[in-house]
Structure 1
Amino acid sequence: MTVKAILDSKGRNVVTISPDKSLAEAAGLLAERGIGAVVVTREEGLIAGILSERDIVRALGRNGAEALDQPVSEVMTAKVQRCKEAHTVNEVMQIMTAGRFRHLPVEHNGRIAGIISIGDVVKKRIEEAEREAEEIRTYIATA
């Protein structure tokens, strides 16, 4: 199972934000869309970073309510891990576990091509395990 398979089933729409927007605007976007992270992109669609709920909480912890006036570029994770469509689910799980994050942008030629979450990965692994179990049951029943 690959990242491409996940994107083919869930879609490739990605919520993005400009690095010059305020943290308050970013928090509003996350709340409005019911998501945990937003990809920060430049005008050309190039990935500049990622901003998660965790990043916002840390900024608020450091600077209080004044943090909400800061630009996203000051709070985002700039050195964002990325994956490609060819990555396997197991590879992505290792990347997310090692980095201790829940969202991973998918890139193609440096531009955003999708995003996957740990929830997407776990869902696919469960589906895969259920399919394998059913195949084993069928094999045993017909043997």
Structure 2
Amino acid sequence: MATSVKQILEQKGSVFHSVRPTDSVFDALSLMAQFDIGCVLVTENDHLVGIFTERDYARKVVLKGLVSRDIRVGDLMTPNPCTVTPTNTVDEVMHTMTENRFRHLPVVYQGRIMGVVTIGDMVKSVVSQQQATIRQLESYIAGDLAAE
């Protein structure tokens, strides 16, 4: 049975961190550093309007010589980000992430933000599934050999 995004969020928790488009890039980076995360969601009135990532910072601030205290998140965020739902499977999310080169995807259901899943979450889930399969196969083989 395929693992769903809902199951991933149940295991890791659905906590996410957000900023407003009017917040400074410095404030967003401070929040990311405080919680050791690679992105923050950008919200207005509890609605997702964008995502701001470490990659956005590196490419849009550092390389252009801008000052993070002077720039607003709304000027650099990725607007209207791609999202997934709790019913999407790990395989579907991995495909979306790989095709689009995303590392973070907001989880949204009926307009409500449910959390964020990362490429690390997906890899952890795949590895866990593979380990469970290996254990089942080992048990099956050991059972067959014991019967002979």
Q: How high is the TM-score relative to the length of structure 2?
A: 0.92
Q: Which amino acid aligns with 1:12?
A: S
Contact 2:104 2:118 in 1 (8 A): yes
Quote the Cα distance in structure 1 between the aligned partners of 2:56 and 2:69.
12
Give the Å deviation of 1:59: 1.8
Paired position in structure 1 for 2:83: 82
Counterpart position of 1:16: 18
Report the Cα distance in structure 1 between the residues aligned to 2:99 and 2:6, rounded to whole angstroms: 21
Instruction: Decide which moves more: 59-68 or 9-18.
Output: 59-68
Aligned counterparts of 2:80 and 2:17: Cα–Cα separation in 1: 19
Q: How many residues align?
A: 142
Report if aligned partners of 1:60, 1:68 keep a CA contact under 8 Å in 2.
no
| Whole-angstrom CA distance in 2 between matches of 1:108 and 1:50 | 17
Structure 2: gaps spanning 5 or more residues: none
Give the Cα separation in 2 of the matches to 1:77 and 1:8.
27
Where structure 1 has 5 or more consecutive residues not aligned to the other structure, the ranges are none
Aligned to 2:7: 5
2 CA distance for matches of 1:98 and 1:8? 26
Matches within 5 A, 1:1-143: 1-43=3-45, 45-143=46-144
Q: TM-score, normalised by structure 1?
A: 0.95
CA distance, structure 2, for counterparts of residue 8 and residue 96 of structure 1: 20
Q: Look up the equivalent residue of 2:52 and give its one-letter code.
A: L
Contact 2:48 2:80 in 1 (8 A): no
Quick one: percent identity of the two aligned structures?
A: 37
Higher helix share: 1
